[in-house]
């Protein structure tokens, strides 16, 4: 069995963490899959998917750590007009943060339920917002 849903999100900050756990649980519950895998995958190159603990302090630490690793004011090669787009590509930090965080996460599904650790939540990381974002949630199995 294979079920995929697209979740569309309008982010409203330049860098932002958007919780996706509830949507993931719902898609798994509605899928009818009893045993298999559930994947959350972003369709963008300036967002990330992360799994971490949902506490304000950690959200802040993750945001600050990424900003330290990828400062906004370095002379990035990607800061230029892209002729194929006809517009400026001023988002190199978003691409690099996206590479660091990855574009997906995966969880087991057993007896029709998502298998997650108590401290785990799923986030969409926005690194070039505000923007209209699409994330796929896919459930595969029997």
| Binding positions for another protein, rule: CB under 8 A | 10-14, 73, 75-76, 79-81, 84-88, 90, 129-132
Of the pair 83, 117, the CB lying nearest another protein is at: 83
The residues, any chain, with a CB within 8 Å of residue 82's CB and separated by 6 or more, are 88, 89
Q: For residue 34, which of 135, 116, 142 has the smallest C-alpha distance?
A: 142
Kindly state the smallest distance separating residue 84's Cβ from another protein, in Å. 6
- Which residue is it, tokens 């932002």? 16
Of the pair 81, 110, the CB lying nearest another protein is at: 81
Kindly state the smallest distance separating residue 75's Cβ from another protein, in Å. 7
Of the pair 92, 141, the CB lying nearest another protein is at: 92
End-to-end CA distance of the chain: 6
Kindly state the smallest distance separating residue 134's Cβ from another protein, in Å. 10
Kindly state the smallest distance separating residue 48's Cβ from another protein, in Å. 19
Angle at 61 between CA 64 and CA 129, to 5 degrees: 50
Of the pair 6, 132, the CB lying nearest another protein is at: 132
What 3-state DSSP class applies to 11?
coil
């Amino acid at each position: 069995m294979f079920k995929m849903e697209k979740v569309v999100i309008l982010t409203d900050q330049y860098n932002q963490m958007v919780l996706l756990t509830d949507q993931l649980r719902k898609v798994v519950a509605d899928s009818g899959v009893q045993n298999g895998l559930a994947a959350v995958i972003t369709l963008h190159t300036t967002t990330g998917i992360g799994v971490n603990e949902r506490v304000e302090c950690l959200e802040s630490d993750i945001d600050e750590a990424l900003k330290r690793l990828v400062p906004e004011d370095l002379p990035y090669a990607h800061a230029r007009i892209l002729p194929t787009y006809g517009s400026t590509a001023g988002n190199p930090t978003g691409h690099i943060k996206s590479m660091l965080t990855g574009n997906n996460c995966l969880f087991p599904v057993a007896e029709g339920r998502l298998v997650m650790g108590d401290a785990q939540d799923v986030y969409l990381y926005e690194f070039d917002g505000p923007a209209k974002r699409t994330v796929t949630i896919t459930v595969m199995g029997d």
